Amino acid sequence: MDHISQPGAAPSRRFPPEPESVALARRFVRTVLEDVASEPVETAELLVSELMTNVVLHARTEAEVSVRTRDDRVHVRVSDHQPSYGLVPQGRLPPYPGPGQGLAVVEKLASRYGVDTSEERKTVWFELWLDGRPPPPSEWQTTVPPAGPTRTVTLVDLPGALYLASQQHRHALLRELTLAAAGGERFGVRPEDLATAHDVNNTISACMTAELEKQPPAAHIHSLRLSLPADATRAVLTLRHVLDLAEEAARDERLLTWPALPQNRVFRQWLFDQIISQLTGGPPTAWTVVPREPSSSPSELVPCDASHVWASRVPTIAADDENRIIAANGPAADMLGWQADELIGRRLTVLIPEHLRERHVAAFNSLLLSGQSRILGRSVPLPALHRDGRLVPIRLFIQTQGTTDGRTVFVAQLAPRTAPPAPSPHPSEESRHVAPQEPGGPELPDVSEILTREASAEAGGSTLAQRLSLLTDIGEALSSSSNLDEGLQRVCKLLTQRLADWCVVDLLDGPGQVERVCVTHRSPQALPAEAYAGRLPPVTEAARGPLARVLRGAGPLLLTEAPSPGRAESPLDTHYYELFERMGASSAMVAPLRVRGAVFGALTLARTGEGRSFTDEDLPLIDGLVRSLSMGVENARLYQETRQIAERLQRSLLPVLPDIGHLQMAARYAPSSTTAQIGGDWYDGFVVPNGRTALVIGDVTGHDLEAAVAMSQLRSMLRGIAIDRQEPPGEVLRRLDMANHSLYREATATCIYALVAGPESGPWELKHSSAGHLPPLLTTREGGTRYLEGGAGLLLGMEPDMPRPEATDPLPAHSTVLLYTDGLIERRDESLDDAMARLCRHTAALAREPLDVFCDELLIALSADSADDIAILALRPVPQT
């Protein structure tokens, strides 16, 4: 470090490009400003630290710091000898702490700032004004380093939030590698490779930042063209190699930065693949068509927004990477006995049953360390903890999403197991077949061109065909969706693609109560948070606006201009007029959704811009459209209610297991996550009059209401026969088969009936008979596994007169016998032997766990996205002393 101040000049010092220079520069600033108030001194120290860190990491030359004070301001300059390395601002300052924010921190805290460049040096300067005057506006100018010959790289469908998260993670890894290298730890990275990685990473960031600044601020999906150095391929390969070594060090906990999460890791691979491939002459491939695992595949390529969580009709909770809840909506809070605002800031473990908390924490830490997860992107049945202490059976669907400032959050949908399944995590066929736009090809037509083309087609006589096609697609969107909300979202997207710029659906939810269930726009730009508000002001007598009129039965209504907010006579009218203003609508159609004369909602279609307004000629199309949509919604509602009623019936028939001190029992039931959710799986456990404990598992053929009813009747008959006759299992099943054949000749089912006998202190034995069911699995306390394949016979409904075989097997103390239905193990394109071997591995690993943990962990591991219902019943004999 050299002191270079001259008499009368601003005090200045030179510092070598070493990490220690950051602290030395801070001390120098404090020494020079010893007579200044403490607050601006602390701010100056912070900003000098950030700028010196940039010099050490990026310029890697000697730095000079000078400090000048006047009565009303502090002026600080930080210079390096790399004028060709332009500034690369990382975007706006994130709302969370962390190093490496550099220029964003200066922009936030300094009164004025800027950069001066000469042939020999680059100087970044800032001023702190002490007299409280408002500073003039200023901003950084992003410069792309000169690179000689360049080639164009096209990034198609780049997700902005995910790129920002990836960029910040890359910078964090490289920063930590540099600091570690200064301390002698190399992690297998050569100094020259680390320097190359820094340089090319900065070049990519500078090019990306410059292009993103040209994009509409509200857009989240971009197609960008970057001019990168033509000879950068080797440098990008070096960057990839250095980051791979850094990821390995992070997974080994040798760095403070977490490894990349699956989505971030796949995105970074795609980004580098695109750059390398296109620099060597390859074509672009859109991010949206890259195949990904469920854990790294978001359902929507938009940033996570708390307003989306609050307004969703699906119970939804979002948590950050510190396991804290950052957003929760009313349906989720109601389901679990909380107020939504009470959950904000609490650890996620407040909603996790005690017997699963340790495993949740371990799995969460493993995800952050390894980037691997068992449940991300999958629908998994789990119990949630209600505020009053009871367990709530849910089906959990978790995805990672990025925020607009680059953070990663975990968004969880909690579907009660008496409700339809969450939307499928897999991309739709439509999204899987999106073709990338070739470089230099035609741009997508704007809205006016689309509408003009449609009008021309109508004039040519194809109006009827177009309308029929639209109505057919709307019906298919509703009928092929897993629930009504998803179906309405798909319908609205269709309408904004073909008919309007905006689509809004409002549904009545009780007398005078209105719920806004869907708002979509033609482009992926952000919608205002208010547009997602679920509950609207009520329909009162004072309401006279278009929405209120339509909900009372008027319409379709044609609005040729935006209504004036001054005409609002109720809160509902005001809310609706404000929506028009936010949409920028020039015309709109508002039509009632009704069936059998009763209005249950309203559809609003709006267009923006001049020359593309709706007219009276569009009324017949809108009228036919809402008729078709109304019938589709009504059918979806009825179908959804039928599924829920059948599952509630099925669940209501599942018994409360007996409390027997020396025989621990636990059971779980999970409906399918991908089918109609109605089936014939059941379990039972009860004590027969002779003191033995009966265990039952069964599965009626079919997945409909009839299967659920047949299941309930078989269960009741088996209970009656078993308690009345108290006969061996084979005889009980024979009598059950005869009764089933006499009453329900077409019904077939599989079933196991077993009796557990033995005193409280042991030994115990299991006498069982199987009617075509998968064999019980016995797992010893030491982890040994064995299927109990004796006593196997035909399924019920085949040959009722045939005798039923039986088998008897000993049950060692602390062993676990598992009865299960085929949904737990059977998978398409997998042999049954492999499936049964996998089940053995899981039960062996869980052999010493409490029985509740044993059952829940099996469901987590094996039932994600199961195409069939699942019932499991586990018993464990425990000697009583």
HSE (CB half, 13 Å, CA atoms) of 74?
Answer: 25
Q: Which residue has the higher pLDDT, 528 or 372?
A: 372
Q: How confident is the model at residue 868, as a pLDDT?
A: 78
Domain ranges of the chain: 2-129, 150-292, 306-425, 447-642, 653-877
Inter-CA distances, 272 with 120, 218, 238, Å:
33, 26, 11
Beta bridge partners of 401: 409
Q: Are 473 and 494 in contact (CB under 8 A)?
A: yes
- CA quadruple 214, 216, 218, 224: dihedral sign: negative
pLDDT of residue 394: 84
Tell me the two tokens of residue 160: 């902005």
Strand-pair partners of 598: 595
Distance in angstroms (rounded) separating the CA atoms of residues 575 and 543: 11
255 in Cβ contact with 246 (< 8 Å): yes
**Mean pLDDT confidence for 193-206:** 87
Q: How far apart (Å, rounded) are the C-alpha atoms in residues 660 and 810?
A: 19
Rounded to whole angstroms, the Cα distance separating 422 from 376 reads 13
Of 268-282, 629-643, 668-682, which range is least confident?
Answer: 668-682
- Identify which has the larger pLDDT, 181 or 817: 817
In angstroms, the CA 424 to CA 419 distance is 14
- 854 closest CA partner among 823, 821, 814: 814
pLDDT of 275 reads 94
Q: Which tokens is 876 given? A: 């464990």
Whether 147 shows a pLDDT value over 70: the answer reads: no
Q: Which two tokens stand for residue 835?
A: 């499936």
Mean pLDDT score, 657-679: 78
| Helix (H) / strand (E) containing 780 | none
CB 870 within 8 A of CB 654: no
Between CA 717 and CA 721 the distance in angstroms is: 6
Task: Write the single-letter amino acid at 97.
Answer: P
Question: Contact 65/25 with Cβ under 8 angstroms?
Answer: yes
Question: For residue 662, how far is the Cα from the chain centroid?
Answer: 43
Instruction: Please check whether residue 695 is in contact with residue 685, taking contact to mean a CB–CB distance below 8 angstroms.
Output: yes
SS3 685: strand
Paired sense of beta strands 112-117 and 122-129, if any = antiparallel
pLDDT higher at 831 or 104: 831
The average pLDDT across 252-257 equals 80
φ, ψ at 184 (rounded to 5°): 100, -5
Return the SS3 of 639: helix
Cα distance between residue 60 and residue 191, in whole Å: 12
Mean pLDDT to the nearest integer, 588-608: 84
Residue 541, φ and ψ in degrees, nearest 5: -65, -30
Please provide the average confidence, as pLDDT, over all residues in the chain: 78
Averaged pLDDT for residues 727-731:
93
For residues 646 and 675, give the distance between their C-alpha atoms in angstroms, rounded to a whole number. Answer: 13
Q: Residue 792 corresponds to which amino acid?
A: A
The pLDDT-based confidence of 423 (bands split at 50, 70, 90) is very low
Structure-model confidence comparison of residues 498 and 471, the more confident one: 498
Q: What is the pLDDT of residue 441?
A: 31
Identical fold, 306-425 and 447-642: yes
Question: String of b and e for 15-48 (b: at least 16 CB within 10 Å)?
Answer: bebebebbebbbebbbebbeebeeebbebbbebb
CA atoms within a 13 Å half-sphere pointing along the CA-CB vector of 255 = 28
Confidence label for 222 from pLDDT (cuts 50, 70 and 90): confident
Spatial contact of 534 and 553, defined as CB atoms under 8 Å apart: no
Listed ranges 140-144, 637-641, 816-820, 850-854; the one with the highest mean pLDDT: 816-820
- The segment with the largest mean pLDDT, out of 240-254, 483-497, 577-591, 613-627, is 240-254
| Statement: residue 311 has pLDDT above 90 | no
Instruction: Tell me the helices (H) and strands (E) count for the chain, helix number first.
Output: 22, 29
Dihedral-angle region of residue 541 (phi above 0 means left; psi in -120 to 50 means alpha; beta otherwise): alpha
pLDDT of residue 130: 83
The burial of 461, by beta-carbon neighbours within 10 Å (0-12 exposed, 13-18 middle, 19 or more buried), is given as exposed
Give residues with Cβ within 8 angstroms of 142, minimum separation 6: 86, 87, 88, 89, 206, 209, 210, 213
- The model's confidence at residue 316, banded by pLDDT at 50, 70 and 90, is confident
Q: Which residues contact 488 (CB under 8 A, 6 or more apart)?
A: 478, 505, 517, 518, 633
In DSSP terms, 785 is beta-bridged to: 779
- CATH class of the domain comprising 447-642: alpha beta
Nearest of 46, 100, 108 to residue 78 by alpha carbon: 46
Give the lowest-confidence range in 66-80, 199-213, 290-304: 290-304
Q: Which range (121-130, 140-149, 402-411, 794-803) has the least confidence?
A: 140-149
Cα separation, 601 vs 551, whole angstroms: 6
What fold does the segment set 306-425 form as a domain?
Beta-Lactamase (3.30.450)
Identify the band that residue 703 occupies on the pLDDT scale cut at 50, 70 and 90: low
Q: How far apart are CA 138 and CA 87, in angstroms?
A: 15
Tell me the range of 488-502, 695-709, 742-756, 814-828 where mean pLDDT is highest.
Answer: 814-828
What CA–CA distance (Å, rounded) separates 770 from 767? Answer: 11
- Please tell me which residue, 182 or 171, carries the higher pLDDT value: 171
pLDDT digits (tens, 9 = 90+) for 762-783: 899 999 999 999 999 999 999 9
Structure tokens at 391: 């367990």
Rounded CA separation 847/861 (Å):
15
CA–CA separation, 496 and 503 (whole Å): 6
Alpha carbon separation from 361 to 336, 355, 358, 811 (Å, rounded): 20, 12, 5, 34
Give the confidence band of 95 by pLDDT, cuts at 50, 70, 90.
Answer: very low
Alpha-carbon span 384 to 285, nearest angstrom: 41
Do residues 555 and 591 lie in contact, with contact meaning Cβ atoms separated by under 8 Å? yes
- Whether 65 shows a pLDDT value over 90: the answer reads yes
Helix (H, G, I), strand (E, B) or coil at 16: coil
Nearest to 682 by CA among 694, 672, 668, 692: 668
Least-confidence region, from 218-222, 568-572, 598-602? 218-222
Question: Among 15-19, 236-240, 594-598, which stretch is predicted with the lowest mean pLDDT?
Answer: 594-598
Which residues, at least 6 apart from 834, have a Cβ–Cβ distance to it below 8 Å?
none
Nearest 5°: CA angle at 849, between 843 and 855? 60
User: SS3 for 712?
Assistant: helix
756: pLDDT strictly greater than 90:
yes
Confidence at 826, pLDDT banded by 50, 70, 90: confident
Percent of the residues in the chain that have a pLDDT greater than 70, as a whole number:
77
Q: Is 353 helix (H, G, I), strand (E, B) or coil?
A: coil
Do 843 and 851 touch, CB atoms closer than 8 A?
no
Specify the pLDDT at position 454: 41
**Confidence check: pLDDT of 857 > 50:** yes
Q: Which amino acid is at 51?
A: L
More confident residue, 180 or 152: 152
Q: How far apart are CA 412 and CA 224, in angstroms?
A: 31
Pairing relationship of beta strands 112-117 and 73-80 according to DSSP bridges: unpaired
Largest distance between two CA atoms of the chain: 114
- Look at domain 2-129 and name its CATH class: alpha beta
CA dihedral 308, 314, 318, 323 (to 10 degrees): 180
Q: What is the pLDDT of residue 153?
A: 92
Q: Which carries the bigger pLDDT value, residue 603 or residue 221?
A: 603
Q: Would you identify the CATH topology of the domain 653-877?
A: Phosphatase 2c; domain 1 (3.60.40)
C-beta neighbour count of 767 within 10 angstroms? 18
SS3 call for 140: coil
pLDDT band (50, 70, 90) for residue 15: very high
The mean per-residue pLDDT over the stretch 332-358 comes to 88
CA 420 vs CA 483, 640, 645: distances in Å: 6, 7, 11
pTM (predicted TM-score)? 0.59
| Terminal Cα-to-Cα distance of the chain (whole angstroms) | 77
Rg (CA), the chain: 33
In this prediction, residue 421 has a pLDDT band, given cuts at 50, 70 and 90, of: very low
For residues 736-740, give the mean pLDDT. 88
The predicted pLDDT at position 438 comes to 34
